[in-house]
Every structure is written in structure tokens, then in C-alpha cells.
A and B are shown apart, each in its own frame.
With several copies, the nearest count.
Chain A
Amino acid sequence: MTTIWTPELRAFRDDVRAFCEENLPADIRLKVLAGVPLTRPDHMRWQDILAGKGWLVGFWPRAYGGCDWSAAETYVFQEETTSSGAPWLLPFGVNYVGPVIYTYGSTDQKAEHLPGITSNEVFWCQGYSEPNAGSDLAGLKTRAVRDGEYYIVNGTKIWTTMAHWADWIFCLVRTDAAAVPQRGISFLLIDLRTRGVTIQPIKSIEGDSHLNQVFFEDVRVPARNLVGEENKGWTYAKFLLGHERVLSAEVGKARRYLRRIKRLAARNGKNNSPRLKDRLSRFEVDLLALEQTTLRVLGAILAGEARGHEASVLKIRGSAILQQISDFAVDVLGTEALSYDPEWLRENAGMPLEEIESMGVVSEALYTRAPTIWGGSNEIQRNILAKHALGL
């Protein structure tokens, strides 16, 4: 009988845990535990610390500055940092564009872009969705027309998380309007300081503005920023989406949320409610199912037996469970949740946990309506399962 839990992996887990305990700044941890939206400096400070340790891009190959972590180590790293109260590690550079560049990019592109990611100096964002291409990415319309050594880009991208903080964006653009929808798409890297780029924040329902719409008007992008071959962007995009979804079963975060619910319930005198206990036990069952399934998927990845659709299972369940738990936390707050003011929360982010937590819980619960939508909505994931896992 083998398990992913080798002695080495256990030792690594302890290392990560100890590292977080020593190095995670208390003020950042407090914000995370309270559910307060983080600022750009919050994210960058923690990522600088990880970059200093060499762990920011741990799963990358050593040749590009990584530690060659296995899928299991990558998972353990994510779970332990999340569980300890570390911020969400922004995936746009590290998980998304970085691997695309070192897998499909030119030598020059690797030299130009990878160091900025490993050192946490360049902040990336992702330009996939468009107003009329949400679930249906193949319907995207942003055009890039070759003009000598440049592409001229026109169009707009939407739901670009944290674009207002970013330096660069990687985009899917249409380079051949005549081809069938999924052909004719290319993968382009664009410096956001280029003339003709406008970023417009979108306020979302929790009252914060992490999402943006990015407009491109005659933006001149050097042709050397094309990754791989022209019109082959769909291949790179699919490669990337696979990477995205493996991360979506955030068991560590869910467990952290459950611990908070117990704390809130104790404060509100509800912790002996049989109804609450049942609910918590049921969540625990769901989390064990998710965790064990994640470990099985990791085992399959390590053994080279993963079929690809497993990521959809984790995405569907992980997002749904997180949503249920964060919504339940609001119910445990009761009428306390009704006093909610996102501006006040931003302005008072440094206050003690008890004073801001209830607003943080509400903010997080509203924001957590999104994970079932983003990264390929759960409806799209079910389509994928029906087709690829079930042959329907």
C-alpha cells in the first residue's frame, strides 16, 4: 500500500508550516483571517517573502528558478500556506503565464519574462474573457493585426482580476478572422503601460473592485511578444486552464472558514445548537470527500494516469463547498451581518479581529458567489465531464 504521504512529504509539510509561522506578517494574517480584502502591497509583501525563500515558483523546473516540486508538494504548499492564514497566492504570473512561457515561449521570451515572475517584480493579469465571450471563449473578438514588427490590438477584455494593479497582461487575441472560431486565436503578452490601453475597474457585489474591464485602442504590441505560433493560442489556453483548475479545491481555506464559524458560534452562544453541529459535521464529510479526491487525483498525476477531466470534479465541488460554508458563516452571524459597509472595512482594515471580522465574513461570502462562475463556470465543467469523462 502506497500513499502520497512519504516521509519526505511530511517533512516538507512541517517545513512550510514552520516557515509560515515565522515569516507570515501578523497584520496580513489578521486581514486574511478576518476576510478583509487585501491591498496590492499586502500581496506583494508576502510574495516577496516567498520569492526570497525560493518558494514563489516552487513547482517550476529548477532551470527556470523553481524547486521542481511534484504535484503533491505543490498541493501541500498551497494547503499549508492557506490554512495558516497566508494570502491567496496570485496565480496569474506564477501559475498561468509563467508555465506557458517556459513551455511554449522562445529563449528570448524566457529571458525577458520569467525572472520578473520568480522575483515577484512584475505583476501579471489575464486577458481571456470578453463581454460577449464568457463561457464561450472561442467567440472572442479582440483583434490583433500584424503591421510589420508589431501587432495592432483593438478590442476589450473583461473580468480581468487585479488588472488595475498589474504591469503586464497576457491575452488571447484573434489573428485570423476567417478561421473557424477556435483556430485563428493567438497568445500575446502586452505591457499595460502601452499607449491605447485603458483599465476601468468594475465594482462587484461585495463593494470592492478587484475586477476590471481593459480596453485596447490601436495598441501597438511588438511581434516578439507573440508566444508560440500565430493562430495556435487555443492550445496554450487549454494547457493553462488545466493548471488553473487543479488549484480550485481549496480544502485548507475551507477548513479555516469552518474554524472561524466555530469561533463565531461560540461568541453568539450558538455553539451548542444541534443544528449547527450537524451542519459542521456535514461540511466535514464534504471536505473529507474533496480532500481524499484531491489526493487521489494527485496520485494519478504522479503516476501519469490522470485523464484530464479530474480537474473539473475538483473545481465543481471545491467552489460549491466553499460557497456554502462562507454563506453559512453569514447565517451564524445573524442580524450582526446586516451592519455592512465595505468602505468602512477598507478604512479600518487594521483593527482587531473581533471588530472587523463580521464585515469581513460578509464581504467574503458575497465575493465567494464568484468561484462557481469563474475559471470556466460549473455549468461548463459539467459539459466537460459529460463529454470527456462520460462520452455523452
Chain B
Amino acid sequence: MVFSLTPEQAMLQESASRFLGDRYDDAARRRFRAEDAGFSLDIWQEIARLGWLGSGFSEQRGGFGGGPIETMILMEAAGNALMSEPLLGSMVLPGSVLAEAGSYDDLAHLIEGKSLFAVAWDEPEQPSALEPATVAEPCGDGLAIHGEKKLVLGGQIADVLLVTAKLDGRLAILRVQSDVGGVDVRTHRTLDGGKAANVRFDSARIDRSDVLASGNEAPAVVSEMLARAIAAACAESLGAARNLHDRTLDYLKLRVQFGRRIGEFQALQHRMADMFIALEEAQSLSMMATAALEEPNGDHRDRILSAAKIGVMGRAMHIGREAIQLHGGVGMTDELPIGDGYKRIKSLSLMFGDEDFHLDRMNSLAV
């Protein structure tokens, strides 16, 4: 349900927005994107120092005592700044896995920015995250991994990959150094202008102690990760949509055609009003998704998360389409960040289950 922020949370929100306001503009984003990693490693170290990376984890897990709301605040701010740094891929996903699997040392390294982690879970042919085709087989004292993962967010720069695979026929989560033999990381550009990686494992060797989760624990860890990813994607999309909404509103107040500010034309006013409504509703649904993370895993939570994903993405996409249209020609240019926001939202709409996936899930869980 809906909540308001504690004073600490409000402070985090303000400090994030101040930092991003200072450090992020269109030129900076362009520069960061051009770096090898597809983002700025310096900024990553700075946000580690600012405590962002630990803010979403409880103290007993090595975090700073926060939870889903803190993550939401940061993801929304990052979305609003159209930030290139992979908070989703290198903080939310691996952080959730490490926290849930109890790998607190690794989590500490992630939080301090000492190591970069990424989760390799998505596969080209397997629709379910709980049924990977990737396998880990006994090999000497340890294990050898075979398989192929796609769209590993943050994978282009990760020191450590957290890999889902079948071990003895059951799901397991494995810790793999990205530089060991048999790991082939292929970086590619992504729709939103960033980078990600496809990764092949060809007899990549790990120790038995690198099995972070198995048995009944592993599916729970993966499910929790996906739940957090959905809420984070909602928050980030909302932030990006707010950026597009605000820029469009500014443009309507600035641009003059036919001797009037175009914001005086009633047809555009009504469309802007509908964008405003969409933004308000997306905000509500994003908060609902975050609040749902506090509930026990189960059908009810899955249904709420699916509804939030469908609803936030549909509304954010509406705002994205209208932002381009109401900007006219300049909305189509790479120079303005309208397209960047649009592409980021479109990307998030396809990740962690697209509309089809979540509609199917809602239908199957209908009460």
C-alpha cells in the first residue's frame, strides 16, 4: 500500500537528486556512455562512497539498514537523470542474490565498490529463469560449467558473475570469476545506448565452495531477485517518464508557433493533462510494487508485481510516445535526451517479463 518517506529516506532522495543534478547532464551522459564500460567507473566509485550501493540492504546483511524503499528512491532518481551506471545490473540484481544467498563478504565488496558483480540468468532459449539449460558438472574436485547466457546487465565489466545453472538436475547459483578460462564475455551495445554482455561458459571451472545457493534455496533466491528487479524497473521507468513529462511541459511553455506558446493550444493541454495523469498513476503503481516486496513471496505478491509492471510500463510508454510527438522534430534527434528516455523505458518494458508474460501471470493467478 501507499506510504510516505521517513526523514532519512527523504534525505537520501534529496541527496541523490542533488548529486545527479550536479554530476549529470546530457554532455556528461554522452561522455560516460562512450567509455569502455558504457558508463563511468568514477561515478560508480563515487556513489559507492555516498553509500548508495548499500542503502537497499538490511544491517544484518552488511547493508546500511534500508530496504526496498531506499532502492526505489535511488532507481527513480537514476531513471529521472537517465543515468548510464548499471544500478539495476550491478547493484539490484547481484545485491539481491548475494543478500538472499547469505554471501555477505561479497555483498560487502559490492557495497564498497571494490568488485563489480553481474547476474547471468537469462538464456536465449529458456523462457523460465528457474529452468536454465546451463549445467554445472562435477570435474575433479570442483565443477565445470557449460552454457550460454544473454543480456547480462553489467556483464561487460563484471569481475564476478553470479550464474544460474542446473547442478544434479536442480537449480543452483554459482560464483564465477569472469577472467577464468572457459568464460567468454561478449560485450554488445543495448537499445538504450548502454552496454551488456552475452556470456558463454565452455567448461569454466569453479570450486565446490563457489556454489552460493542450491536445493530449495536457489529458486527462492532467483524469485526474490526477479521480484526486486521488477520493482526497481518500475521505479526507474517512472523516473525516466517523469523526466520526459517535465521536459515536454517545459517545451510547451517555451516553444512558440503561430504566434503563441504551443502550451496555449487546448488540444496539447489535454494531451499534457493525460500525460500528467499517467505519471501520477505510474507513481502510485511503482510505490505499490515496492510495498509488495515487504510481503511474503507468493501468488498475491506475484500478481501485484505483474500488475505494477504492466501498468507502470504502459503509462511510461504512453508518456514516451507523447513526449516525442509533442516535441515534434527535435524529439526525434539524438541531441535531446527524449529519445534516450524513450529507449530506456522501452528496454525496461521488455526486461523481467514483457507485457505478455505478466498478463499471462495475472490471468493464471486471477482471484
A–B touch (CB < 8 A): the answer is yes
Q: A residues touching B (Cβ–Cβ < 8 Å)?
A: 1-5, 129, 132-136, 138-139, 158-159, 202-205, 207, 211, 270, 273-275, 277-278, 280-282, 284-286, 288-290, 292-293, 295-296, 299, 303, 310, 313, 316-317, 330-331, 334-335, 337-341, 343-344, 362, 366, 369-370, 372-374, 377-379, 381-383, 385-386, 389-392
Question: Can you list 23 A-B contacts with CB-CB less than 8 angstroms, sorted by A residue number?
Answer: A3-B291, A138-B258, A139-B257, A202-B333, A203-B335, A275-B356, A282-B359, A286-B311, A288-B307, A289-B284, A292-B288, A293-B280, A293-B281, A303-B4, A331-B356, A335-B150, A335-B151, A335-B354, A339-B151, A366-B339, A369-B342, A383-B270, A392-B272
**A277 CB contacts on chain B under 8 angstroms:** 363, 366
Chain A CB within 8 A of B329 CB: yes
**Residue in A134, A303, A310 with the greatest tally of chain B CB atoms within 10 Å:** A134
Q: What 10 pairs between A and B have smallest CB-CB spacing?
A: A205-B339, A292-B284, A341-B189, A386-B269, A203-B334, A136-B257, A385-B273, A289-B281, A281-B362, A340-B191
**Residue in A133, A338, A379, A389 with the greatest tally of chain B CB atoms within 10 Å:** A338
**B139 CB contacts on chain A under 8 angstroms:** none
Q: Do the beta carbons of A139 and B258 come within 8 Å of each other? A: yes
**A392 CB contacts on chain B under 8 angstroms:** 249, 252-253, 263-264, 269, 272
**A296 CB contacts on chain B under 8 angstroms:** 2, 280, 283-284, 287
CA distance A386 to B276 in the complex (A): 9
CA distance A202 to B304 in the complex (A): 43
Q: Do the beta carbons of A386 and B188 come within 8 Å of each other? A: no
| Given A132-B256, A275-B356, A313-B280, also A281-B366 (CB < 8 A) | yes
Q: Do the beta carbons of A366 and B343 come within 8 Å of each other? A: yes
CA distance A373 to B256 in the complex (A): 17
**A383 CB contacts on chain B under 8 angstroms:** 266, 269-270, 273
**A377 CB contacts on chain B under 8 angstroms:** 325, 328
**B321 CB contacts on chain A under 8 angstroms:** 369
Q: Do the beta carbons of B350 and A370 come within 8 Å of each other? A: no
| Given A139-B258, A289-B285, A293-B281, also A390-B190 (CB < 8 A) | no
CA distance A21 to B324 in the complex (A): 38
Given contacts A288-B308, A389-B273, could you give 17 more A-B pairs where the C-beta distance is less than 8 Å?
A1-B69, A135-B257, A135-B258, A204-B334, A278-B363, A284-B362, A296-B280, A317-B277, A338-B151, A338-B191, A373-B328, A378-B325, A382-B274, A383-B269, A383-B273, A391-B249, A391-B253
Chain A CB within 8 A of B28 CB: no
| Given A316-B277, A366-B339, also A341-B332 (CB < 8 A) | no
Q: Do the beta carbons of A390 and B272 come within 8 Å of each other? A: yes
Q: How far is the CB of A36 from chain B (nearest CB, A)?
A: 16
Chain A CB within 8 A of B102 CB: no
CA distance A381 to B277 in the complex (A): 11
Q: Which of A134, A341, A366, A378 contacts B329 (CB 8 A)?
A: A134
CA distance A293 to B311 in the complex (A): 13
Q: How far is the CB of B340 from chain A (nearest CB, A)?
A: 8
Q: Which of B264, B283, B333, B350 contacts A338 (CB 8 A)?
A: B350
CA distance A124 to B3 in the complex (A): 38
Q: Do the beta carbons of B366 and A280 come within 8 Å of each other? A: yes
* In the complex, residue of chain B having the shortest beta-carbon distance to the beta carbon of A136: B257
Q: Which of A1, A132, A159, A331 contacts B354 (CB 8 A)?
A: A331
**Residue in B2, B192, B196, B321 with the greatest tally of chain A CB atoms within 10 Å:** B2
Q: Which of B2, B276, B304, B328 contacts A135 (CB 8 A)?
A: B328
Q: Do the beta carbons of B333 and A373 come within 8 Å of each other? A: no
Q: Do the beta carbons of B2 and A369 come within 8 Å of each other? A: no
CA distance A372 to B280 in the complex (A): 19
* In the complex, residue of chain A having the shortest beta-carbon distance to the beta carbon of B287: A292
Q: How far is the CB of A30 from chain B (nearest CB, A)?
A: 22
Q: Do the beta carbons of B281 and A317 come within 8 Å of each other? A: yes
CA distance A316 to B270 in the complex (A): 12
Number of A-B contacts (CB under 8 A): 223
| Given A284-B362, A339-B151, A382-B269, also A204-B333 (CB < 8 A) | yes
CA distance A158 to B188 in the complex (A): 33
**A310 CB contacts on chain B under 8 angstroms:** 280
Q: How far is the CB of A168 from chain B (nearest CB, A)?
A: 22
Q: Do the beta carbons of A4 and B354 come within 8 Å of each other? A: no
CA distance A313 to B283 in the complex (A): 13
CA distance A378 to B270 in the complex (A): 10
CA distance A389 to B191 in the complex (A): 33
Chain A CB within 8 A of B268 CB: yes
| Given A3-B3, A207-B334, A273-B356, also A285-B307 (CB < 8 A) | yes
CA distance A391 to B69 in the complex (A): 30
B318-332 Cβ-contact flags toward A at 8 Å (1 or 0)? 000100110011011
CA distance A290 to B280 in the complex (A): 10
CB under 8 Å from chain A, chain B span 290-313: 291, 304, 307-308, 310-311
CA distance A331 to B362 in the complex (A): 19
CA distance A138 to B256 in the complex (A): 13
* In the complex, residue of chain B having the shortest beta-carbon distance to the beta carbon of A387: B269
Chain A CB within 8 A of B223 CB: no
B353-367 Cβ-contact flags toward A at 8 Å (1 or 0)? 011100100110010
Chain A CB within 8 A of B346 CB: yes
**A370 CB contacts on chain B under 8 angstroms:** 332
| Given A2-B4, A338-B347, A392-B269, also A369-B253 (CB < 8 A) | no
Q: How far is the CB of B360 from chain A (nearest CB, A)?
A: 9
Q: Do the beta carbons of B273 and A382 come within 8 Å of each other? A: yes
B232-272 Cβ-contact flags toward A at 8 Å (1 or 0)? 00000000000000000100110011110001101111101
Chain A CB within 8 A of B6 CB: yes
**A134 CB contacts on chain B under 8 angstroms:** 257, 328-329
CA distance A299 to B366 in the complex (A): 29
* In the complex, residue of chain A having the shortest beta-carbon distance to the beta carbon of B278: A289
**A362 CB contacts on chain B under 8 angstroms:** 191
Q: How far is the CB of A103 from chain B (nearest CB, A)?
A: 28
Q: How far is the CB of A328 from chain B (nearest CB, A)?
A: 11
| Given A338-B350, A379-B267, also A211-B256 (CB < 8 A) | no
**A136 CB contacts on chain B under 8 angstroms:** 257-258
**B273 CB contacts on chain A under 8 angstroms:** 381-383, 385-386, 389-390
Q: Do the beta carbons of B268 and A289 come within 8 Å of each other? A: no
**A374 CB contacts on chain B under 8 angstroms:** 329
* In the complex, residue of chain A having the shortest beta-carbon distance to the beta carbon of B124: A336
CA distance A379 to B331 in the complex (A): 15
CA distance A339 to B196 in the complex (A): 8
CA distance A67 to B185 in the complex (A): 58
Q: Which of A203, A313, A338, A343 contacts B351 (CB 8 A)?
A: A338
